[in-house]
Structure 1
Amino acid sequence: MTSRLRLRPDGTRAPARVPLSPDDVVDAALAMVDRDGFDSLSMRGLAKEMGVYPTALYWHAGNKAQLLALVCQRVLEEIELPPLDGTAWQDWIVAMGVDARRVLGTHPHLAAYFVSQLQVSTSSLLLAERTLAVLSAAGFHGNTLLFAYNNVLGSIFGWISGEFAADPQDADSTWREHFEAELTATDTTLVPTIRSNLPLVANQAFMLRWSSGPAAPMNGSFDFMLRSLTLGLAAQLKAVSGPPHRSS
């Protein structure tokens, strides 16, 4: 059994009494990603932080890609899915979306990675199963079920990824001030609609923000998106179902 290692006063390592577990590795990796971003995660760096040899991490969690998959699974497990019975399908989608945003909002460094990598795990399968079950019970079938499902997950998780996007790479400490100044100084004749709505959209609209979700959450816009999503799906469902048949 692998154990954590502790440092002796002379700098050499001695095995600790507490054995290392896969959960320990995932917890430590998630904490590192939350603190420094997923690009900072390395097996060697994580091993040093945990006080273990890198081989111990590979034994318990596989390589870096496998570890990140376990980290994503851990985050997915934090999402509280509403019950399938007794919840209207529109309310289920809204509740799932709100909690997914809450969870990924607590792990903003992971949000973009989460949606940019294929997710295949017990947790992702459960989310997929529940979402498909809700939509199927609502009356979506065949290709329409597939399209509705992709609209739900794509809209919700794509939004979350965009809202909690990281700062530009290699951005200096003043890039936000520069961006804000450039936005407010842009020629009115070039972007008249932006300039006339600047107090409304500045730092609250995609492509017009200089702060990410943790600093400038887009709560109202996200709620509006969820309502628009469910209303649009309901309209599509009505269109494919056709008018009710009248008895002669």
Structure 2
Amino acid sequence: MTRDTLTRDQIVRTAIELLDEGGLEGLNMRGLGRRLNSAATAVYWHVKNKDDLVTLAGDRVWDEIGLPDLDTVDWRTAATAMATDLHAMFIRHPWLVQAFASHLFYGAGKARHDDHSLAVYEAAGFTGEEADQAAATVFTFVLGNALGASATASLTRKLGRDGGNAEDVLRDTMKRAGEVAMRFPRLRSRIGAPDDSEAGDYAGAPARSFEFGLQALLTGLEAERDARRPPRTGR
């Protein structure tokens, strides 16, 4: 493609594909040009550099998060849906979690999400700064829960580039970690014998930990909101 037929939308969509496949280190302008069947110089007519492209791609994926209609669902249902969508988006695009350490993301996609998130917590009865605090607390929880998947994806790619078998390395490391954990009673009772094929992985989160934590967090926010309300006075 020439610079006249290439569009920014095509570039951003293709960049997201490359980022999903190879992470931040897997994206470069030359490789992007090849994927687009275009010269790298043509790409620079639409984006300034790789950092600019990562920012554009990072904003685009926020459009994947649904915005529940607050006229038809209660605030807690809406908060659960948005947090679950956000978590799924981070898992689909683990490079975005990694990129928070080196990029400041902004744009219409993220602003759309953030604005509706504030609306959800305002609907819950939080006002002003309290709504910002509630939204930020839930966002931080979701981001923290996505860190493990992002780190695993990044480590797997690194091990592959270094010429090792990522699956074997991870398995061996978890086996050694399990052997160390067997020296501690609570971990030992959880994971079982190290040679047991059905033994648990103490480094892994229990099933449905995200769902459990999210509901506990929302319950805590409700309690905090109620505690801040002035007591009712009798007539």
So what's the TM-score if we normalise by structure 1? 0.79
- Paired residues in the alignment total 222
Deviation at residue 21 of structure 1 after TM alignment:
0.9
Q: Deviation per CA, 1:138-161: give whole Å up to 9, x if none.
A: 221243223212102111233223
Does the CA-based 8 Å contact 1:76-1:123 persist in structure 2? yes
Please state whether the residue corresponding to 2:45 is helix, strand or coil: helix
The RMSD of aligned alpha carbons is: 2.6
Which residue does 2:80 correspond to in 1? 94
Relative to 1, partners in 2 of residues 1:45 and 1:167: Cα closer, same or farther, differing over 3 Å? Answer: closer
Cα distance 1:201–1:152, how it changes in 2: closer, same or farther (>3 A)? farther
The 1-side partners of 2:29 and 2:206 are apart by 35
Which residue number corresponds to residue 61 of structure 1? 47
Question: 1:158 aligned to 2:151?
Answer: no
Say which structure is richer in helix.
2
Q: Equivalents in 2 of 1:80, 1:115: separation in Å? A: 25
Structure 1 counterpart SS, 2:148: helix
CA contact (8 A) 1:75 1:104 kept: no
Match of 1:37 among 23, 27, 39: 23
Cα pair distance change 1:196/1:247, threshold 3 Å: same
Q: Which runs of 5+ in 1 are unaligned?
A: 6-14, 210-216
Q: Which amino acid aligns with 1:134?
A: V
Where does residue 115 of structure 2 map in the other structure?
129
User: In 2 relative to 1, CA 183–83 (structure 1 residues): closer, same or farther, beyond 3 Å?
Assistant: same
Percent identity reads 29
Distance 1:48 1:77 in 2: 26
**Quick check: 2:121–2:131 contact (8 Å CA) kept in 1?**
yes
1:176 aligned onto 2:153: no
Residues 13-28 of structure 1 aligned to structure 2 (within 5 Å): 19-28=5-14
In structure 2, distance between residues paired with 1:88 and 1:131: 13
Amino acid at match of 1:87: V
Amino acid at match of 1:236: E
- The verdict on how the C-alpha distance between 1:131 and 1:67 changes in structure 2, with shifts beyond 3 A counting, is same
**8 Å CA contact retained: 2:11, 2:43:** yes
Of residues 62-71 and 165-174 in structure 1, the stretch that sits farther from structure 2 once superposed is 165-174
1:104 aligns with 2:97: no
Matched residue type, 1:223: E
Question: Residue 218 and residue 49 in structure 1: after superposition, are their counterparts in 2 closer, same or farther (change >3 A)?
Answer: farther
Mapping 1:219-234, distance limit 5 Å: 220-234=208-222
Q: For residues 20 and 167 of structure 1, do their structure 2 counterparts lie closer, same or farther at Cα, with a shift above 3 Å needed? A: closer
Secondary structure at 1:186's aligned position in 2? helix
C-alpha contact 2:51 2:103 (8 A) present in aligned 1:
no
TM-superposition CA deviations, 1:193-226 (whole Å, max 9, x none): 11111259944x6xx14xxxxxxx9761111121
CA distance in 1, matches of 2:107, 2:199: 38
**What is the aligned counterpart of 1:52 among 15, 27, 38?**
38
Instruction: Indicate conservation of the 8 Å contact 2:181/2:187, yes or no.
Output: no
> What amino acid does structure 1 have at the position aligned with 2:63?
E
Q: CA deviation at 1:38?
A: 1.9
Say whether 1:247 aligns with 2:234: yes
Q: Is the 8 A contact 2:23 2:154 kept in 1?
A: no
Greater Cα shift, 231-240 or 217-226: 217-226
Number of the residue aligned with 1:236: 224
Q: 1:161 to 1:115 in 2, by over 3 A?
A: farther
Structure with the higher strand share, 1 or 2: 1
C-alpha distance in 2 between matches for 1:150 and 1:218: 25
Deviation at 1:59, TM superposition (A): 1.1
Structure 2 CA distance for aligned equivalents of residues 146 and 231 of structure 1: 17
Displacement of 1:51 after TM fit?
Answer: 2.3
Q: Distance in 1 between matches of 2:91 and 2:211?
A: 15
